[in-house]
Chains A and B, each alone.
Chain A
């Protein structure tokens, strides 16, 4: 009954979105207020219906109704409640349902909070959102129905992939999807603007908060995924350039570019065509990610649906949405007139440089991800492009951007003086030099890139702080007045400062963890001691046990430094009852300087012939900085989002102020 109810609600949502996709669009074309007004109630109704469908599926999972195919394939009665809930989106059908739920959520947010939007723009935006939704409802209902019955019902289910039974991963997909799908807002606004033929500062001010919100969620989602890979896969690594990771990274890169170019549109009335194109590209990357993951054209650990019919469906959807929007762009784009002129050396120039680098980086990741596919299409067979390619190409592209990142905010709009800016950045240069020398002195045997990374992190962090003191006019007006200005800084500029600082901290973390990791792999018998990076790991033995739906072997390590016991680590190796699949739970002690990380493996024999266990011990320097830096970046985004000019009702009042502020 519940399954049929959910199925029915989903079909109704399809019809509502079909209405929402057509009537308001026609109404906006004809200038018919009544037809345009359909958009808001339709968007709210659509969200309500999808929410009902999603609630039904969740109910089926919680009650373990195995007469539903999807539940039987992905759940089990022994599974803890939280994984019954996360199991809803831990599979293809359910995750697509989550996708449309979030799409409808964003649409209803425009309907609810978009009172200050011009009616025709709002109607068009909601129609475009609904057009995307129609495509995805059809996809779910025709190829991936989560409510399909299984008669007769099995006694128990197949269980969720054990790797996915993890708190970090339970909330990774919703975050990621809030990011992916959030970019649909920027896309819908871009298409609506192309139809209206007008892009102005007000448009950019409406687009930015949505993009920013999506960006924050996507950053959090990528961070969670990386964190999960770090402690669950048990390799001490945190980024593998896996196609699915890349699929989430490409919209992030393009979205970051979009955030910056939208600022230029808002403040300087230029780069309009480019910003629209970026909005289209960013969401296209989200869709492309969905296609790559769902169609099975690329091999990946994450790919849980590999079905060619679905692939064909998504490809057609891609061609309609991306091809259609790019065709519209080719037709209407040249009519967008930019009024603001600027010199290459200027704030706009710096932001444009950021955009070019981000776009190039997106293209590189896209090429690396698709290369196996492209090669296969011309008869080259299936291959895997690994981290060697990405590290060799991606990192050099990003380095100049970090250098410019500290300079750009110091430049004036329109025409800047890079010599003056660089001169004032002397503290950053000193910091970079000190960091390089410090890194070289501390880790004499590390790779050269480690020294470069640390220098860049210091350069960016101090450069960002220099820019802050400039903005506060600390040197000219003294500490007292500067502190007064500090309190009055708009939250948006705090957001920028925090986000850039966060990236600096993240770079330091990635450099430390990437370049200076120490590891030791061996068979240890109880009582054996291994010294790694100055820490003594004593293996105290292991014992077997039984978890809720798995059997485990838990090892115990006492870690001490200079004779003083620091921590006891208890890594586990689990074997899940239903699937028989083993997973690793690393024992990790995070510290500010680095993570002490231990993994227990299979039974083995030590060189002396004693029975023991294979153990992998790591010291991962500065890993905590990476997660910390990501959190600072997200906090920066959230702070900027709470800026008063983004709040309901504020844009209209602040528009005049912002324009004069932009001109000075």
Chain B
């Protein structure tokens, strides 16, 4: 009897997996609430990516009275590569400063990545150990935060900003926070 159960185990495991797949198919990359929403951004100071073009940044940069965007990225993350043109587009609009949080990456790889895909970040902080990422509640990349002028996290987007997400979700949110948050 016991060995019977053992032979059933693979089937059981597969069915659980299949259930996950079925649920997974119904999902889209979507916005999820974060425990940090409406909380002040964590205290941190990040050095720049060694040898990079832009300086690092710290909590104080997010409290200058302007709405800002913090984009968590890594050169090893494929969805980041997909969303990067959209991040560049947002940064070039010049309506908000866009900070890059380079998560668990080597400076060489990060520099190469930015050289190739374009670096329009206002500043880029290197979080090589991932310590600051933990404070921000990052559990995967890419993630994008919108922080209001007082340094409170107002919105978190998990997953790549691709397709019409920038126009349909991110920009309207930035505008509404800019109008009401000042």
CB distance from A271 to the nearest CB of B (A): 14
Determine if B60 is an interface residue (Cβ-Cβ < 8 Å). no
8 A Cβ contacts from A319-352 to B: 319, 322-323, 326-327, 329-330, 333-334
Pairwise interchain contact A384-B11, C-beta atoms closer than 8 A: no
Determine if A601 is an interface residue (Cβ-Cβ < 8 Å). yes
Determine if B160 is an interface residue (Cβ-Cβ < 8 Å). yes
Q: Which of B3, B29, B51 contacts A334 (CB 8 A)?
A: B3
Interface string of B70-98 (1 = CB under 8 A from A): 00001011111110000000000000000
Whole-angstrom CA separation of A516 from B11 in the bound complex = 44
The chain B residue sitting closest to A522, CB to CB, is B51
Determine if A379 is an interface residue (Cβ-Cβ < 8 Å). yes
Q: Which of B15, B25, B78, B79 contacts A308 (CB 8 A)?
A: B25
Interface-forming stretch among B37-45, B61-69, B137-145, B169-177?
B137-145
Contacts of A308 in B (CB 8 A): 25
Query: Contact residue range for chain A?
Result: 35 or more
Determine if B108 is an interface residue (Cβ-Cβ < 8 Å). yes
Whole-angstrom CA separation of A315 from B20 in the bound complex = 11
Determine if A372 is an interface residue (Cβ-Cβ < 8 Å). yes
Contacts of B82 in A (CB 8 A): 299, 301
Pairwise interchain contact A315-B79, C-beta atoms closer than 8 A: no
Determine if A24 is an interface residue (Cβ-Cβ < 8 Å). no
CB distance from A155 to the nearest CB of B (A): 28
Contacts of A329 in B (CB 8 A): 7, 10-11
CB distance from B3 to the nearest CB of A (A): 6
Determine if A664 is an interface residue (Cβ-Cβ < 8 Å). no
Pairwise interchain contact A299-B160, C-beta atoms closer than 8 A: yes
Pairwise interchain contact A616-B10, C-beta atoms closer than 8 A: no
Q: Which of B3, B22, B141 contacts A384 (CB 8 A)?
A: B141
CB distance from B13 to the nearest CB of A (A): 9
Pairwise interchain contact A614-B115, C-beta atoms closer than 8 A: yes
Q: Which of A277, A297, A334 contacts B25 (CB 8 A)?
A: A297
Interface centre among A295, A315, A381, A519 (most CB of B within 10 A): A381
8 A Cβ contacts from A579-607 to B: 584, 601-602
Interface string of A384-397 (1 = CB under 8 A from B): 11111000000000
Interface string of B141-162 (1 = CB under 8 A from A): 1100000000000000011100
CB distance from B23 to the nearest CB of A (A): 4
A521-B10 contact, Cβ under 8 Å, with A308-B25, A315-B21, A381-B30: no
Contacts of B139 in A (CB 8 A): 380, 383
Pairwise interchain contact A376-B79, C-beta atoms closer than 8 A: no
A291-B21 contact, Cβ under 8 Å, with A322-B14, A383-B158: yes
Contacts of B112 in A (CB 8 A): 235, 519, 521, 616
Whole-angstrom CA separation of A109 from B121 in the bound complex = 57
CB distance from A334 to the nearest CB of B (A): 5
Contacts of B51 in A (CB 8 A): 521
Pairwise interchain contact A323-B7, C-beta atoms closer than 8 A: no
Whole-angstrom CA separation of A437 from B139 in the bound complex = 39
Pairwise interchain contact B24-A301, C-beta atoms closer than 8 A: no
Contacts of B18 in A (CB 8 A): 315, 318-319, 322-323
Contacts of B15 in A (CB 8 A): 323
CB distance from A379 to the nearest CB of B (A): 7
CB distance from A243 to the nearest CB of B (A): 8
Contacts of B22 in A (CB 8 A): 315
Pairwise interchain contact B78-A242, C-beta atoms closer than 8 A: yes
Determine if A205 is an interface residue (Cβ-Cβ < 8 Å). no
Whole-angstrom CA separation of A387 from B159 in the bound complex = 17
8 A Cβ contacts from A599-638 to B: 601-602, 614, 616
Whole-angstrom CA separation of A386 from B109 in the bound complex = 14
Interface string of A219-252 (1 = CB under 8 A from B): 0000000000000001100001111000000000
Determine if B27 is an interface residue (Cβ-Cβ < 8 Å). yes
8 A Cβ contacts from A435-463 to B: none
11 A–B contacts from the bound complex (CB under 8 Å): A243-B78, A326-B10, A327-B11, A330-B4, A330-B8, A379-B32, A380-B32, A381-B29, A381-B158, A521-B108, A614-B115
Which residues does B use to contact A, with CB under 8 Å?
3-4, 7-8, 10-11, 14-15, 17-18, 20-25, 27, 29-32, 51, 74, 76-82, 104, 108-109, 111-112, 115-116, 139-142, 158-160
11 new A-B contacts at CB < 8 Å, known A318-B18, A614-B115: A235-B109, A243-B78, A322-B14, A323-B15, A334-B4, A370-B20, A378-B23, A381-B30, A384-B80, A386-B77, A388-B104
